[in-house]
Amino acid sequence: MKATIKYRDIYGQRRQKTIEVDKNEPNSIIREFVYQLDLVWAYVTTIKCGRTEYQWYAPVKDAF
């Protein structure tokens, strides 16, 4: 299934990325996001997977 992640990068610009994931769980989605994009720092605001939308409002390091 596909997950859309809205985040802010290191420069504060708002970005959006869609990735392929196995689980519909926020921590798992963010871990896969970091693994696929090799991001060191990003501030995630929203995760949408299917019809479910999660509000995260935290850096990606909080998923580990």
Q: How many domains does the chain have?
A: 1
The whole-number pLDDT of residue 59 equals: 86
CA pair distance 39, 50, nearest whole angstrom: 24
pLDDT digits (tens, 9 = 90+) for 32-57: 999 998 888 899 999 999 899 999 88
Contact between residue 16 and residue 2 where contact means Cβ atoms under 8 Å apart: no
Q: Please give the residue range of the domain that contains residue 33.
A: 2-63
Is residue 6 classed as helix, strand or coil in its secondary structure? strand
The string of pLDDT tens digits covering residues 2-19 is 999 999 988 989 999 999
Whole-model pTM: value is 0.86
